[in-house]
């Protein structure tokens, strides 16, 4: 007997109320080794796939296609830790004190549940990543037993890790690095028949990595974004996409919103992970691609709708983004049939 038989896996209701935001998560599949939850609102939907790893440790795959997350957690617990890794997309977390943290591709965050989350957002309307939920008292007991069975050097004191990384109820963020990528890239490609054992090995590797005192110094120094500035930059972005056919200079944008130019550019990159011009160009090409697929508008008219008076320049930029000229793209991906009906 290992003794683990007497230690429970994280309770499903605990995961739902503390990590998945309670009633916002609908259980789609409930199984002993895997459960699937779905969240929906007016901005889209998200699917969370949950795997038990050790008693007290759960691994969740987050596949989100929405812009606005769900409301704050109730009755947060100080002994529940949440580790998040962003694979693609962007994640915004607003805490109860009004400050916000942003995760971009490859970033890692560690947060204790008493650092209350007020709102979550997905600025790019999609997010894919991993969450590891840790019930510290239960998990710590298990890791001690595993270490005793396998030998010294495998135990990570989860209480000490929490107190060091989340001191003063803060959120620890480590920006994309090869050391993080090495651990998580393999979790995204775990062979199905080896998954149970693989998860255990990788989670223990992650804990040993985060348990090193040297990791604390690698955390982001300027972590939080002012909430009022974040809201203002979202208004800037909305204004730009509502006037996609116009060429608006950054100086004009700064004056329109009474937002100092340098601060505006810096804040936009913190929220959306790229520059204003790069974001807007990508959005224009995404919109143009949709119009090519789903309408019969000619290329010149589509170019005008996304802010290009010169159709040749539009075609050049479109090809750089998609690998196709607009005409080639329409022939390959058009959803309009010969009868003029949009195909499903």
Q: State the Cα–Cα distance between residues 133 and 17, nearest whole angstrom.
A: 12
Q: What is the pLDDT of residues 270-312, one digit of tens each?
A: 999 899 999 999 999 999 999 999 999 999 999 999 999 999 9
Assigned CATH class of 4-218: mainly beta
Radius of gyration of the chain (CA): 23
| pLDDT tens profile 212-226 | 988 888 887 656 788
4-218 and 227-333 have identical folds: no
- CATH number given to 227-333: 1.10.10.60
> What is the pTM (predicted TM-score) of this model?
0.80
Kindly list the domain boundaries of the chain, sorted by start residue. 4-218, 227-333
What is residue 118's predicted lDDT score, i.e. its pLDDT?
82
Burial (CB < 10 A; 0-12, 13-18, 19+), residue 176, is middle
**Could you give the CA distance from residue 62 to residue 129 in angstroms, rounded to a whole number?**
5
């Amino acid at each position: 007997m290992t003794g683990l038989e007497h230690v429970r896996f994280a309770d499903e209701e605990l995961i739902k109320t503390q990590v998945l935001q309670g009633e916002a998560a609908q259980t789609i599949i409930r199984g002993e080794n895997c459960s699937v939850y779905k969240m929906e609102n007016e901005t889209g939907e998200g699917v969370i796939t949950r795997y038990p790893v050790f008693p007290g440790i759960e691994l969740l795959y987050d596949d989100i296609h929405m812009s606005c997350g769900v409301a704050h957690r109730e009755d947060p617990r100080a002994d529940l830790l949440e580790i998040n890794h962003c694979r693609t997309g962007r994640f915004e977390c607003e805490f109860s004190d009004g400050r916000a943290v942003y995760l971009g591709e490859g970033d890692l965050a560690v947060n204790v549940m008493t650092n209350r989350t007020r709102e979550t957002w997905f600025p790019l309307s999609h997010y894919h990543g991993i969450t590891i939920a840790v019930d510290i008292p239960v998990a710590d007991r298990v890791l001690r037993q595993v270490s005793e069975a396998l030998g010294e050097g495998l135990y990570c004191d989860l209480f000490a890790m929490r107190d060091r990384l989340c001191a003063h109820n803060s959120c620890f963020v480590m920006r994309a690095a090869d050391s993080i990528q090495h651990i998580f890239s393999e979790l995204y490609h775990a062979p199905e028949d080896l998954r149970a054992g693989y998860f255990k090995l990788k989670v223990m590797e992650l804990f040993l990595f985060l348990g090193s005192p040297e990791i604390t110094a690698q955390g982001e120094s300027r972590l939080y974004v002012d909430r009022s500035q974040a809201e203002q930059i979202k208004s800037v972005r909305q204004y730009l996409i509502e006037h996609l056919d116009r060429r608006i200079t950054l100086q004009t944008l700064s004056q329109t919103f009474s937002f100092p130019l340098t601060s505006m550019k810096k804040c936009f990159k913190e929220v959306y992970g790229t520059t204003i011009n790069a974001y807007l160009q990508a959005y224009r090409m995404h919109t143009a691609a949709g119009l090519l697929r789903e309408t019969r508008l000619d290329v010149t008219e589509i170019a005008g709708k996304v802010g290009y008076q010169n159709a040749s320049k539009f075609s050049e930029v479109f090809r750089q983004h998609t690998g196709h000229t607009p005409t080639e793209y329409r022939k390959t991906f058009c959803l309009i049939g010969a009868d003029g009906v949009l195909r499903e």
